[in-house]
Each structure stands twice: as C-alpha cells, then as structure tokens.
Chains A and B, each alone.
Chain A
C-alpha cells in the first residue's frame, strides 16, 4: 500500500482527529543567500514515525534543525505545542554522533534535559534510570562515557532523549556511524522501543532501507538542480506490519521506488 502526494508533503493516511504534535507550514531556509529548503509542510501526529530521506547534502539535517528551532527558518512557521506535564519537554534529539558529555557519568548525561524542569535530585535520578533500563544500560549508570562502546554510547544518547518524555523525538542519522551489526540491532531495538514511548519520531537517514523498515511515512527530500532549494518531492505511507517488514514482498519494491524518486532529484 502506498499513498503519495507530491509537493504538499502531507498524506491523508494519518488524518487522525488528535491534534498534531508538530505542524510546519511552508518552512524555507538558506545559508548566506543560498536557498537550502523551500516551502516544506509537515504535520505529525502522536506516536507517528516519519523518516526523511534524500541525497546527501540535500538538507535533511538542516530541515531537522529548522523544525526544532536550532536554526531559525527564514520564512514559514513550525509549531510543537508543549504538553501539560511540567516535567517534560516538547521535543528532544538524538544526534549522529552520541555527543555525550565526557565529564558526566552516564546517569548524569541522561539527566541533562531534566535539569531546569523543577524536578528534585531524587526525581531526576529516578527519571534517568527509567530510560536507561529501557535501552538495557541501567547497570552502566555510574560509568564514564568513554568506557562504553559506540553502540552503547548511542543507546545512552537515546535514553537521554527519552528521559524528558518528549512529544516529538528528532533523530539525525542516529545509526549511520555504527557498524552494520550494531546498526541492525539498534534498528530492532527502536522498533521495540516505539511500543513503550508516546513520542512521535522524525528520523533523518540516507539509508532508504532503514527508512522503509522503521517509518510509517517516508518523506523524500530533493532539489531540482545544483542551486535549487530542496523540497518534499513525495511522501509515501508504509503500510506494512512493523515486525517482519524486511521479509515482506512489498518491502523491496518500496525501497526501489524511493530510490528511484531520490535518483530523479
């Protein structure tokens, strides 16, 4: 099953009645006069998983930063309504490199986003152990980051992002720096993790298989030439059961379709 809608970027597949946890309207952004993104629209509903794919350098990470406000869009607007729970943040992020603070122990790294939310020290500790358990690293809470493997460090990065109970979790090529075996394992952990978190996920990757494997929707970002800004060229819904996608007969054709769309742009 796939539904496509060119340019608008919003499919009808998830037109649920619940309010969007993220809505972006005609977001455009450029660096020093060079346009990078033009007119990106996006709506994200609770628990939804959207993958953003595109050729390298097309502006996927830039889009992520424009959506979070880490980079200010030149025009358009993004809204990520904050939840009602004071102990949470509207969004958080997992980066390509783990980017843990080496001067903090694992637990203190996970607590970073919880600082300044009005939680007591004991509450923060408790809230940090919870996601660490979820990624299977609760026994590593007192370790220094450099004593962990790359895959474990990235898991801590995921725990740090989950600790703030975000409404939207942004993941910027989170597995691309890992070796193939670890990457595969973390992909499956992420599938399992989705059942235990309410966060909607925006997942940037250049790995099309990964996108089709994990996402409910795949957004293809492409430009129309060297100096042309990127826009959403297609959004397609991936309507396959999450558990055995790789073996599903529709998996390979979907991947090929996305590949072809990226090749065109």
Chain B
C-alpha cells in the first residue's frame, strides 16, 4: 500500500473531517449532551451572519479592523524589512542595535497596550501601533537572516561587473537574493497581524474584537462564532492573495 494519497481523495477526507466535526457538534447540542449556553448551534450561524450583515454591523466592524490591520501591517513590515536589511549589511549599525533588539524582542506586542493607550488614547492608531510591533519583529528577523545567508559569490560577481555602489548592490544582489526569505517573513506577518488585531480591540477600539466582547457580554455566542469565522475567512483570503503575488515574484525559482 502506498503512503501517498491522490489529491482528490485527500480533499474528500478533509471535507469529511470538517463536516463530521460540525455534525457532531450539532448533535451533541440537540441531544442535550452539551448545554446550549456554552456554544451556539452550528445551524443557527448562517442566519445570525445574515442579520449582522443586513444591519451593516458586519461591514462596519470588518472595515475598521481592516483599517488598523493594514496600517499596522504596512508600518510594521516596511520598518521591519528596512531595519533587518540594514542590520545585515551595515556591521556598525548591527552592533549598535544588537543589545537593544535583544532587550525589546521578548516583549509581546500586547504588553505595549498600556503605552499605546497613554500615547495615542483608545483609538485606531493605538491598535495599529500594537499590530505593527509583532509584525515588525517577524519581518526584522526574516530579512536579517535571509540577507545574512546570501552567497558571497554573488557579491563578487556584482563587483566584477562594475556594480560597486551600495545602492546598486542592494537592488541588484541583496534584495532579489533575499526575496524568498523576506516574502516568507511578510507572509508570516500577515497571520501574526490578525492575532493582534482582535486582542488590541478587546479593550474598546472599534472593530471585530470589540464586537465579539459586546456579544459575549450578552452571552450571544452565535455572534462570537460568526466573527471567529470571519477572521478565519479573511486570513485565508489574504494569505491566498499574498501567495499568488509571492509565486509571481519568485517565478524564477526552480
């Protein structure tokens, strides 16, 4: 028997697993094995989703979450890549900030919430700030290590063909050679960003997290689940779109 499975069979099994899970969940509730106050009926979710959508709440909260998400992602990613690449290429800068990075790195993004509130107040800027921190570190380390591991032979080629300036070596060797690692970091940041979005909103910044807190205080677990699925769906969408871009940019790879 072969260990490999055909692709279609694999898809079938995956779908089966998901359906079985939802069915068991539904049955456990209907048979009274699980109390309905703890989890909602799966079959009730589509209708609740429709209500959220029809009220315009869904679009509102998703839009504001996406707002801080994209701002935080943009700032965190670009700063992370810039600082990471600079640290990998400039030994003096690397040494200068090495201990500072080691000190700040272990601090989780959510530990910055007190400062975020003091500096920016309870508003979207604070959320974007918190999101950018986690994203920054992921991109920083991915860029740093991928630039560091570039084959020095490429640098010699650039020098032998007259590309001597820092800028031309950066654009002609370092960035393209490190692109696979840098893009990998960006993609990981995409996921990390979502995790902090919700957490950052739990203390009152409008968005998906805040709506979930509201719902849970009313024990509306069905609404909570709607937004959990929303987060999963949006993440899958972004990851898929990013993967398309990544594949296009790295089409030179074997």
Quick check: is B157 within 8 A (CB to CB) of the other chain?
Answer: yes
Total interface residues in chain A, CB < 8 Å: 23
User: In chain B between 223 and 254, which residues have their CB closer than 8 angstroms to a CB of chain A?
Assistant: 251-254
Q: Which residues in A have their C-beta under 8 angstroms from that of B168?
A: 115-116
Given A102-B253, A115-B168, decide whether A70 and B163 contact each other with a Cβ distance below 8 A. no
Are B252's CB and A160's CB within 8 A?
no
Quick check: is A68 within 8 A (CB to CB) of the other chain?
Answer: yes
User: What is the minimal beta-carbon distance from A118 to any residue of chain B, in angstroms?
Assistant: 12
User: What is the minimal beta-carbon distance from B218 to any residue of chain A, in angstroms?
Assistant: 54
Quick check: is A146 within 8 A (CB to CB) of the other chain?
Answer: yes
Q: Which residues in B have their C-beta under 8 angstroms from that of A95?
A: 153, 156-157
Are B153's CB and A103's CB within 8 A?
no
Are B176's CB and A89's CB within 8 A?
no
Given A95-B157, A99-B157, A101-B176, decide whether A89 and B162 contact each other with a Cβ distance below 8 A. yes
B contacts with A: majority SS: helix
Q: Which residues in B have their C-beta under 8 angstroms from that of A105?
A: 252
The CA-CA distance from A207 to B159 in the complex, in Å, is: 27
Total interface residues in chain B, CB < 8 Å: 20
Q: Which residues in B have their C-beta under 8 angstroms from that of A160?
A: 161
User: In chain B between 5 and 31, which residues have their CB closer than 8 angstroms to a CB of chain A?
Assistant: none
Quick check: is A222 within 8 A (CB to CB) of the other chain?
Answer: no
Quick check: is A104 within 8 A (CB to CB) of the other chain?
Answer: yes
Closest residue to A105 on the B side, CB-wise?
B252
Are A112's CB and B163's CB within 8 A?
yes
Q: Which residues in B have their C-beta under 8 angstroms from that of A145?
A: 252
Q: Give me the interface of A with B, judged by CB distance under 8 Å.
A: 68, 70, 89, 92-93, 95, 97, 99, 101-105, 112-113, 115-117, 144-146, 160, 164
